[in-house]
Amino acid sequence: MDTGFDLREHGGVDVFLRDCPTRAVLEVIASKWTMLVLVALEDGRPMRFTELRRRLDGVTQKVLTSTLRSLEREGLLAREVYPTVPPRVEYRLTGLGREVGALIQHITDWSQANIGTIRAARENFDARTAEQHQDPGPVRR
């Protein structure tokens, strides 16, 4: 079965294969909290942990910590610790992080511009689904 152009034949990777290393990157980037951190930091201004947590309504300390570590590990985020008492830690996007942050910002803008259409589609789908699952009445034998 032909699944399309296979980049492995040309020295590349194929994201559709389970062992493709780019899948791990996509997993990190596709996370809701990752996307929101990238957008929050996209303007280039460094932010402290508490600033980010306040900005990202609903994120837990544990999830934000994990998200920031993942982004730092992938090279998308830089963490700088200042030798003060208590230590001050700031987070900012790297060049690579700014690139993907700009892409995510476009997705965010698109989502906001189309939310009315998306909500209408959801309501339409839900109404159709509810009609299909209504009790059809007694079963004839």
**Distance (Å, whole) CA 68 – CA 84:** 21
**Distance (Å, whole) CA 61 – CA 86:** 18
Give the model's pLDDT for residue 136: 63
In order, the DSSP letters of 24-85 are: HHHHHHTSHHHHHHHHHHTTS--EEHHHHHHHSTT--HHHHHHHHHHHHHTTSEEEEEE--S
**Distance (Å, whole) CA 67 – CA 29:** 10
For residue 108, give the H/E element and its range. Answer: helix 95-132
Contacts of 23 (CB under 8 A, 6+ apart): 15
**Distance (Å, whole) CA 71 – CA 78:** 8
Query: Average pLDDT for residues 61-81, to the nearest whole number?
Result: 97
Greater pLDDT, 120 or 13: 120
pLDDT band with cut points at 50, 70 and 90 for residue 76 = very high
- Which residue in 90, 101, 81 sits closest to 52, CA to CA? 90
Query: Average pLDDT for residues 84-92, to the nearest whole number?
Result: 94
pTM score, two decimals? 0.78
Give the model's pLDDT for residue 8: 56
